[in-house]
Structure formats: structure tokens, C-alpha cells
Amino acid sequence: MKRIKGIIFGIIIGIPLGLWFGFNMGQDRPLLSNPFGEPAFQEKMKQTGDTLIEKGGEVLEKSGQALQKKAQDDGETPSVPDQFPQQ
């Protein structure tokens, strides 16, 4: 009976602590920080920068595709300079 109480107590305490620590680790925060707290200014700026870079890359990709399509419609074959090898 004592063993079952210990197991139940460990589960009751272990699951919330594991979730707390795991959530903080997933958010790249210190382990003992508040998982429900607002992100710090640095984190907000990092997220904004990541979003900006991602959307900028999408815009560049779409514009490159549009240029290739326009070049093909004009009858020209797009050529890439030798110094920029395609992947």
C-alpha cells in the first residue's frame, strides 16, 4: 500500500513538473520561468525578425518565378551566370 501511494504521489507531482519544464524548454526559456508569462522584448523581436525574413524569402521566390515566367513568355531562356551555380 505504501508503494502504491508513492507511485501515485510521484505521478501527481511528476506530470505537472514535467509539463512545466518541457514547455519552458520548448520555448527556449529558463526551466524555472513562468510558462504562462508574456515573452520578453528580446523574444518578441526575434519572432518578428524571423517572420520578416521568412516572408521576405517568399516574396523573393515569387518574384523570381514571375520573372522566369515572363522571360519564357518572351521567348528568352533565362540564364544563370557561372558565378551563381544552381543548386
The answer to whether residue 78 is domain-embedded is no
Say whether both 1 and 30 belong to one domain: yes
Left (φ > 0), alpha (ψ -120 to 50) or beta: where does 75 sit? left
Q: Give residue 66's pLDDT band: very low, low, confident or very high (50, 70, 90).
A: confident
* pLDDT band at 80; cut points 50, 70, 90: low
The dihedral built from the CA positions of residue 40, 42, 43 and 47, taken in this order, carries a sign that is: positive
Count: domains in the chain: 2
- Other beta carbons within 10 Å of 20: 16
Asked whether 50 and 56 are in contact (CB, 8 A), the reply is no
pTM, entire model: 0.43
79 assigned to some structural domain = no
Verify that 30 and 5 share a domain, yes or no. yes
Task: Please name the residues in contact with 29: beta carbons below 8 A apart, sequence gap of 6 or more.
Answer: 35
Please report whether residue 5 resides in a domain.
yes
Mean pLDDT across the stretch 72-85?
66
- Distance of alpha carbon 51 from the chain centroid: 9
Range of the domain at 7: 1-37
